[in-house]
Amino acid sequence: MTGDAGTTDATEDKQQAKVLTVSDGVMAGVRKDSSGAGLVSHLEAAGFEVIEHRTISDGVDNVSNTLSYMALNFVGLIATTGGTGFGPRDDTPEGTRRILDKPAPGLTTAMATASPLNRLSRGVAGVRGRSLILNLPGSPGGAVETLESVLDVVPHALALLGGKRDPHPTPDQ
């Protein structure tokens, strides 16, 4: 896109992202959404344009319905935070699996090995339409650390989902 002065709009080349915080506590106002805010900041610093950040309560139906809506006609990354543990209402992976067209087990494995505590995360990764969905832990540090464990390959995945014939990255890229 070209501005009045003939300059190219910097956002034209940015890949887009959305962040979904899944937390009963945040929705009830008893907890601050530090993990969602941290993901937005981290994604923007990594060059993504974050076009949406929303918060919902836990629950399989709530997660699946919201992710379906967020992925509709969207080419980009949807990063969820929260609901990946062992709590009775931690249903983000179940809601996500319900709507995935294609799982991404390699990304799920990489996320699980990001730190020792991630062995307790049940988060999944996969594709819905032309969106890549990553379930990240609810702790602020864990969410960013887990995102960082796969962020190097996300731009390539999004380019492919967007229909671009992106050259395969090499180990030194």
Is residue 44, in this structure, part of any structural domain at all? yes
Residues 102-124 pLDDT 10s: 999 999 999 999 999 999 999 99
DSSP character for 149? H
Q: Over the stretch 35-51, which tens digit does the pLDDT of each residue have? A: 999 999 999 999 999 99
Q: Is residue 57 part of a domain?
A: yes
Is residue 92 situated within a structural domain?
Answer: yes
Tens-digit pLDDT profile for residues 48-85: 999 999 999 999 999 999 999 999 999 999 999 999 99
Q: What tokens does 139 get?
A: 């702790």
Would 113 be classed as within a structural domain?
Answer: yes
Closest CA to 135 of 118, 143, 123, 122: 123
Question: Which domain range does residue 153 map to?
Answer: 13-161
The number of folded domains in the chain is 1
Q: What is the CATH number of the domain that holds 61?
A: 3.40.980.10
Q: Which of 111, 105, 80, 106 is nearest to 93 (CA)?
A: 80
**Residue 136 resides in a domain:** yes
